[in-house]
Amino acid sequence: MHLKGNWLEETGFMTGQPVQVSIEHGLLIIRLVENS
C-alpha cells in the first residue's frame, strides 16, 4: 500500500518506516512499528 502526502509527516509517519495495518470495527488503522 502506498500512501502519500504532507499530512503523513505532520502526524509522525516518515518515508520508509514500518507500519502495522489492521481493521477493527470498520476502521482501517495504521500504526507505526516501534523499534524495541
The residue behind cell 477493527 is 24
Helices (H) and strands (E) in the chain, counts: 1, 2
Domain boundaries, the chain: 1-36
The residue behind cell 507500519 is 19
What is the model's pLDDT at position 22? 96
| pLDDT single digits (tens) 1-36 | 778 888 888 988 888 888 899 999 999 999 999 875
What is the model's pLDDT at position 6? 87
pTM value > 0.85: no
What is the model's pLDDT at position 29? 95
